[in-house]
Amino acid sequence: MKNIFNSFITAVLFLAANFASAQTYQLLPDSNASWLVQDRNSEYTLYHRYFLSETLNDTLINERTYTKIFSETNGTNIQYEGAFRNDVSGKTYFLPIDDTLQQEFILQDFTKEAGDTVFNVAIHYGVYRGSYDFVVDSVRYYPCGPYTLKSVSLHTLEEIPSIGNFMLITWLEKIGNVYGGIFNSPHGGLNMYRLICHNASDTILYSTPIFDFLPFEDYMVYRQGSCEYYLLAKELVKTSDFTIYPNPFTQTVTISTANYYRNIELQVYDIMGRIVFAGNIPVFSNNYTVSFPSSLPNGTYVLVINNKSKRLWKQIITKSK
């Protein structure tokens, strides 16, 4: 009986080892992808778009193939930010543009589990700031459309100049960092970085740009298509173009504009980032009334007006008795 038990244990360990070695991960896309990241503090709000070259694995360095990363801020000033490569084991490596030694640093590592240490993680804070060590707080899995994506949450083990002694990162398979997009940027401190959407072949991650205090998994949405909410400061229509009344409202809200718009889309979100109303206005040049069901709970909501690829307006509204 003892020999049978030992044989069983050996077989289980063998299968577990083979399963672990055969595990695959949804790594970062290496062409035709973009990340839109909001960078905000008390004085300004910027939108950074990070994007890859259209050519698959376009750079050869030290006999290794990399993909170049570019950025633009508020639609201008395109510049090269470095390059990365994926390892089939579940790791992604970053190569800074100003590293004369051409040394690689960790951009993501999905082989880690809770309690593990990740050394030499590449950190960006506007620009590349160096590599630092992190410890894994938790590992979770989230559904996102047809995928179940692994999430790895980490915090720093050392102080980072200009950032502080505590920095959070959350990696998500196929997406990047849910705060800084493709780069590991901080969520907290003076500057708050937040991924708004990610476009890669068939996967879009929308982090609803409304409520900062919600966990990212509460507003992670999968859609097919392009990054519809490409928000640049110059694309926003002035709030004065629209008025809303009454506010607070009881069951109906009227939106008024003196201008002419076509193909307007309306969405109303609750405090959890869920859509409670969606409508389409082919021609909008006067007044439009939104009627809500009487069962809609009292509370705070966000009304968003979109015109094709542009977000035109956002307004907080409150339902009262």
**Are 315 and 303 contacting, i.e. CB atoms less than 8 angstroms apart?**
yes
| Domain annotation covers residue 29 | yes
Establish if 26 belongs to a structural domain: yes
**Which element (helix H / strand E) includes 37?**
strand 33-40
For residue range 211-265, list pLDDT tens digits in order.
455 566 666 777 766 564 443 333 444 455 778 888 888 889 898 887 777 778 8
- Residue 9 predicted with pLDDT over 60: no
Q: Model confidence at 17, in pLDDT bands (50, 70, 90)?
A: very low
- Residue 266 and residue 119 share a domain: no
Q: Do 72 and 114 fall within a single domain?
A: yes
In which domain, by residue range, is 269 found? 236-319
pLDDT tens-place string over residues 137-164: 999 998 887 888 899 999 988 888 777 6
Q: Say whether both 189 and 162 belong to one domain.
A: yes
Same domain, 131 and 51: yes
Is 34 in contact with 47 (CB distance < 8 Å)?
Answer: no
Contact between residue 257 and residue 226 where contact means Cβ atoms under 8 Å apart: no
- Flag whether 1 is in a domain: no
How many domains, in total, are found in the chain?
2
Q: Would you call the peptide bond into 246 cis, given omega within 30 degrees of 0 as the criterion?
A: yes
Looking at residue 290, which CATH number applies to its domain? 2.60.40.3080
Q: In the chain, pLDDT over 90 holds for what percent of residues?
A: 20
Helices (H), the chain: 2-22
Give domain status of residue 16, yes or no.
no
Q: What is the chain's mean pLDDT, rounded?
A: 78
Q: Is 170 in contact with 178 (CB distance < 8 Å)?
A: yes
pTM above 0.85, yes or no: no
Summarize pLDDT for 266-304 with one digit per residue, the tens. Answer: 888 776 667 888 888 888 878 888 888 888 888 878 788
Region 303-312: what's the mean pLDDT?
A: 68
Within-domain flag for 12: no
> Look-up: residue for tokens 């609750």?
270
Q: Flag whether 17 is in a domain.
A: no
**Is the residue at 91 inside a domain?**
yes
Q: Given 223, 255, 286, which residue is the final one in a domain?
A: 223
